[in-house]
Amino acid sequence: MGRFVGMSGRAWIYDESQRIGDGGMGVVFSGSAEDGSSVAVKRVELPGTGEEAQRRRDREMEIGALLASRHAAEELEHVLVALDHAVVDDALLIVMPMADYSLSKAMKQKALNNSDCVEVLLHVVQGLEELHSLGILHRDLKADNVLNIGSRWVLADFGLARDTARGTATYTFTGWGTAAYVAPELWEGQSASVKSDLYALGVLAYEICTGRRPFPGPGDSDYRRQHLTEDPPDLGSLVPPWLSSLIWRLLRKEPARRPQDARAVLETLQARIGPLTPALERLAEKVQAAEHQRLRAEAEHAQEESQEQAGHDLLRQAYADLDLILEETGEMARAVLPELTVGSSGWATFWLLAPGGRIDFEGWWELDVIPGDTMVTAGSIFFHKIAALNVRVPRANIVCENKSDGRIAWHLLQFESRPSVHYSKGPKDRPHGFPEEVFMAERRQMLSPNASWESPSWYMTKKELDSNLILELLGDLVNL
């Protein structure tokens, strides 16, 4: 048993063996007042006496004090207001009213009908509106943090909350909430806002109406991809069209396309209570279909942008890897070729300059990749003798490909003509590479040499590109 005296002067008791939940940055225990009435006590561990620990103490207490002052002046009906608090050793103890059960527990026990869903959402949105009117963001809205006390649903747990008036300059606790509810803009590093709370409300509303979340995860990388680029599944015919339309608006990827604030959502809910006329039902169905279509188009656009960005990032990684291989080769080769220089004339063009000759590595742009091909990019390797720098015949090809383990690797490809076959794709007297248009025309045969009845007119040698292989190329250049 733990006994402490709060800032109000009242004494409280909590039982550390009666853990009733996790409260964001702390743990919640069953407790009681001196008169025996039940309360909940959240304990936030704040080890140390440094500035950060003191800020965290002050932050939780500031928000509690702000809510308490508002509660005293004007009733807060849908926000859980602390009864008292105290700092004991390295812990902040917050006394709260004891809830009957959480929304997550209620949903596990039984499916909610449409009337229940609307009632819960009304209370939750009223709670958000009360918080936002005080300039406080919740930042961790989820079913576990919606509690039932008597006949009311209230918002609880402000361990991640932030006073919006302080902007991004204020100190915030680590993280931005629970991954299943985190808005797309937060995954991209933007600041939390009223709109990110509304997105979490959309996820919660979807969950209340269907019994499942729109994005299943399960890992953080899965949640990030889903929130940023995927269209949530259809809500189904059992959810009223007007409610579906509201949820789709809350789940828009772009914050500006969500409702203006919690008050706007509350007004929409209040206006829809009661039966609609047949004409309004038909209009609501059309609005729902339009909102869902816009949401799908937005998700598709976001996915295209994400894929395009991922492609650019992969290309940058590929050429950064090639640059590193060439730099390492230069360092090794200077032991016997001190005059060797390594350079670049563009992010996809590199060269090695040795006495009497040069090797160019030139990447290609905008390749039309064959479906199923693992190629990231490709290019040519040219040999030049100083006396004939304008004569450029590909000596080999380079290709960067995705590996089965998720990494990428460069390979060197060389081709030789088959004997007794008409051959016009390169010199017959030595291994060589293909120009870009020939390479792409022959790519299917490189991937599946036995897939066609027509055998290629060349043999291909493929080796992983590394410093030792480039040293061999340097030796070939010197011997030309």
Span 295-306, pLDDT tens digits: 778 778 777 777
Confidence of residue 166 (pLDDT cuts 50, 70, 90): very low
Does 112 score more than 60 pLDDT? yes
In this predicted model, what pLDDT tens digit does every residue of 252-282 receive, in sequence order?
999 988 999 999 999 889 887 766 567 656 7
Pairing of strands 341-346, 11-23: unpaired
Q: Please give the residue that has the higher pLDDT: either 111 or 186.
A: 186
pLDDT of residue 277: 61
Angle at 360 between CA 358 and CA 366, to 5 degrees: 170
% the chain with pLDDT above 90 = 43
Q: Averaged over 35-52, what is the pLDDT? A: 77
Map tokens 């926000």 to a residue: 79
Q: 352 pairs with which residues across the strands?
A: 342, 359
Q: What is the DSSP string of 39-96?
A: EEEEEEE--SSSHHHHHHHHHHHHHHHHHHHHHHHS--SSB---SEEEEETTEEEEEE
What are the angstrom distances between the C-alpha of 158 and each of 4, 128, 136, 139, 223?
22, 12, 9, 8, 23
CA 205 to chain centre: 21
CATH superfamily ID and name for 1-98: Phosphorylase Kinase; domain 1 (3.30.200.20)
Contacts of 32 (CB under 8 A, 6+ apart): 12, 13, 14, 38, 39
In this predicted model, what pLDDT tens digit does every residue of 225-243 receive, in sequence order?
999 999 999 988 888 888 9
Range name among 107-116, 350-359, 381-390 with the lowest pLDDT average: 381-390
Does 169 score more than 70 pLDDT? no
Does 308 score more than 80 pLDDT? no
Q: Is the pTM of this model over 0.75?
A: no
pLDDT of residue 168: 37
Q: How far apart are CA 284 and CA 304, in angstroms?
A: 30
What b/e string do you get for 165-186 counting C-beta neighbours within 10 Å, with b at 16 or more? Answer: eeeeeeebbeebbbbbbbbbbb
- The H or E element that residue 232 is part of is none
Q: Averaged over 170-174, what is the pLDDT? A: 34
Q: How far apart are CA 285 and CA 102, in angstroms?
A: 32
Q: What is the DSSP string of 132-174?
A: HHTTEE-S--SGGGEEEETTEEEE---TT-EEGGGGGGS---S
pLDDT of residue 326: 93
Q: Please give the residue that has the higher pLDDT: either 311 or 401.
A: 401
Residue spans of the domains in the chain: they are 1-98, 101-274, 321-479
Confidence of residue 460 (pLDDT cuts 50, 70, 90): very high
With respect to CATH, is domain 101-274 assigned 3.10.20.30? no
Tokens matching residue 242: 């007007």
Per DSSP, 340 falls in state -
